[in-house]
Chains A and B, each alone.
Chain A
């Protein structure tokens, strides 16, 4: 059995915990490159197999990266459904572009840029389609937050007041744990701009929530 296929089997076997547990670790603050040295080598083998047309190998890559890809997309788009679409589009683009992927570069970072671009495209389409409903759907999480509804409302209002880029930057940094440089490459902005956006986004959100506290 080839190492790539062995890895696929290991990832699909529920009794094999180490790599799967890592892949299913909740997204918050996981490092961008979640593969260790050995796993990175396995990943390179999977990429090479996928480049030769092995759909199963690409499936293993999807399995390993879809959570992180979703987190990237979710930080940029307005709704869970748009994030799902962006993830799917991103993976399809990545599959089409596999021949252009250079061996040795981190697959995750390459994939995240593609998914981020797909998410930015989805945001532009959404803006054109129904700009009015944007603020309604902002940060509509998969689970209802445990916070009181007024706090959530205030947070949503604060997020809605941010620019799309500021919102993406603060979520990618504070929620997903990406570095400024990584965020800059994903969103096609200089690292300094990412830092500045983060500062202003935090300030704006704190001000939104402060008003709530003062009412209390």
Chain B
């Protein structure tokens, strides 16, 4: 097949000028109106450089990234400006012209590799597809190139991994295969759309290192989209901070993280710090909750998800349970609540042994032990108003009705720093942070002694998550409620926990007060976890990879 020459012009590889992107929204009960998603953003990217796009959700960073492929997702329209790739405006290229560019000059790496691969085809077929489609390589050449890329991305068994199907490799590996897919047709530009956000910290570091090496060795340019400043600092040469579709600040990576010029950037850089004084376990006082030698498994399977787990929580304190996905930390929550009755062991709460199964527990036991979920969206009935959601526990446990109930709902809304104007809103009309606050209010309405927080901040933007953590700490001080805080994010743990349990494959590998758990010497797994948390420092990635004693579970 003839290899058509790509147009090569002088000047920057990608030059976006005064980009304006709009979408039409249909708010219920109002006339449809046009909202501006990206407003007058310009950027240039030289060959072989990496530009990080950063901002909270709704900042328009993905939309800008996709515009470099002349693509608008879900009814989004590019209404103004120019996108010059290799010196020509691809917005004017027409359907056929864009097809020649996509997959050839610019490739895309999506956030969820599991959803982006076709489960019915082998990995190799999907990796070489773009190169074959554009006729830039024969099948044999493309496969050879793909295997070289698999090796470079340190995938296990690079010669044969292409014969597997997407479900036969782990999430971190799949993300690297997708990077290989993007690199295989030797494009000039790759758009990385949050490629590591859905991964565990220990896996994220591997993928990050692989992506960084691949970018360096192939000389491809990249737009790296993420909401995590610490991650983007590791891979990019320049960083662009966006907010509400507008440019906030654009500069070299060092300048952005060391000397941010804008207030918003400064807030992003300093977001993780919450001072939290550790409360020590009171002497001679019985713990509020003690989990005693709990073993549990799903169904009748012999695979034990929890193995002989014992932890204690004292009144008004926080126990953080950390670990990767699959470590059994959420299962521990299910065992404590009785949703998954443990097969061995017992749960002692406030001096009495709780029945293993939830349906045998008294209403008062249920009331004193509340739960907050990771995905606030699905934790609230979309057809109930905020007042119903928060008011139901009041009716159910305390038999409060009418005006009395409404007054208490207003109080609770005040406590979560939302006004009583929110009472008759539906969940779909709230932002992510507000939804989680309503869930907190619902748990609080039951006047519990213990709240189980299952990854409550994982789905939120850093600034919003920060607000939620502060709120939780404040509420703990006011109501003297204890938290069982499940998370994979050690930065969160540092700011909220009094005691920590580190879980690995269903077992507690390290347990004690925050200061003892976080003081060396560490066991290998705790060290891996700690060293994998991205730090906002240049060169952190290389240092962390260099000092590892243990491979992460993804390999």
Partners in one complex: no
Residues of A within 8 A of B (CB): none
Residues of B within 8 A of A (CB): none
